[in-house]
């Protein structure tokens, strides 16, 4: 456990811990490792979130913990400056499959294919490689098929605390749910590109960006 520092406030300590974190830090982790009460930690987090409200970085609660992200409104400028490249482009089919899983999990491959009306084996593999979905068990039925669900990476990418925060969607005429949660315009959908613009990027998106922050530039 971190000992209390008489020269630094709980707010200062938490700010530094969050800045260096590679993943969201939960309230439990903070309580277990800091010599402060739950009320003091929550007050510090609330104060930090207010401090960053009108700044370039944002403090957000996502995937069950707290983390710093860049301002969603500045993602275009950040990507242009660092020449960030997408690690993966997803097809329209993959986006639709991801949406079906997100809204119907836990769900098997057969159930996904019944909703979409097409095979999904290659698409499921792609989504697993992107770490957006994972096998969370096997169904107690003939063949014991794998059951799929979304991951913490999925939540962080779309700025969600849990799947209950997914927006309400309507059904298309053919019965497939629109991938509105990806907030794609028609051009992006045709390109099959996932964009985190509306949700913000983790403050350590690139190693270069992280080093700049650490040097106080």
Rounded Cα–Cα distance for residues 182 and 194 (Å): 7
- Are 162 and 208 contained in the same domain? no
pLDDT at 3: 65
Q: Is there a domain that residue 70 lies in?
A: yes
- Are 183 and 105 contained in the same domain? yes
Q: Is there a domain that residue 196 lies in?
A: no
DSSP E strands: which ranges in the chain? 57-62, 65-70, 107-108, 133-138, 146-150
Residue 110, CA distances (Å) to 89, 117, 148 in order: 25, 10, 11
User: What CATH code is carried by the domain that includes residue 68?
Assistant: 1.10.10.10
Q: Is there a domain that residue 19 lies in?
A: yes
How many domains are contained in the chain? 2
Tens-digit pLDDT profile for the chain (217 aa)?
676 666 678 999 999 999 998 888 999 999 999 999 999 999 999 999 999 988 888 998 887 899 998 888 887 888 788 776 555 567 888 888 999 999 999 999 999 998 888 888 788 988 998 889 999 998 888 888 899 999 988 888 887 888 888 887 654 444 444 444 444 333 333 333 333 323 333 333 333 233 333 323 3
Rounded Cα–Cα distance for residues 178 and 92 (Å): 10
pTM (two decimals): 0.50
Q: Is there a domain that residue 32 lies in?
A: yes
Among candidate residues 133, 120, 115, 128, the one with its CA nearest the CA of residue 169: 115
**Domain containing residue 67:** 10-82+203-214
- Are 78 and 101 contained in the same domain? no
DSSP E strands: which ranges in 86-164? 107-108, 133-138, 146-150
Q: Is there a domain that residue 171 lies in?
A: yes
Locate 79 and state its tokens: 């990507």
Rounded Cα–Cα distance for residues 130 and 89 (Å): 10
- Are 155 and 131 contained in the same domain? yes
- Are 110 and 178 contained in the same domain? yes
């Amino acid at each position: 456990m971190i000992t209390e520092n008489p020269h630094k406030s709980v707010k200062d300590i938490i700010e530094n811990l969050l800045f260096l974190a590679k993943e969201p830090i939960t309230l439990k982790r903070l309580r277990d490792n800091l010599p402060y009460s739950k009320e003091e930690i929550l007050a510090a987090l609330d104060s930090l979130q207010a401090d960053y409200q009108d700044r370039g970085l944002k403090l957000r609660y996502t995937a069950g913990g707290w983390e710093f992200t860049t301002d969603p409104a500045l993602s275009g400028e950040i990507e242009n400056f660092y020449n960030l490249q997408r690690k993966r482009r997803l097809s329209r089919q993959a986006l639709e499959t991801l949406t079906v899983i997100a809204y119907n999990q836990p769900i098997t491959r057969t159930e996904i294919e019944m909703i979409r009306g097409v095979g999904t084996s290659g698409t499921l593999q792609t989504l697993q490689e992107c770490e957006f979905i994972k096998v969370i068990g096997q169904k107690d039925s003939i063949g014991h098929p794998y059951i799929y669900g979304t991951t913490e990476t999925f939540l962080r990418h779309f700025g969600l605390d849990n799947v209950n925060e997914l927006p309400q969607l309507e059904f298309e005429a053919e019965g497939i749910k629109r991938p509105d949660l990806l907030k794609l315009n028609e051009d992006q959908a045709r390109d099959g590109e996932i964009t985190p613009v509306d949700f913000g990027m983790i403050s350590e998106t690139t190693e270069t960006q992280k080093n700049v922050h650490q040097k106080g530039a």
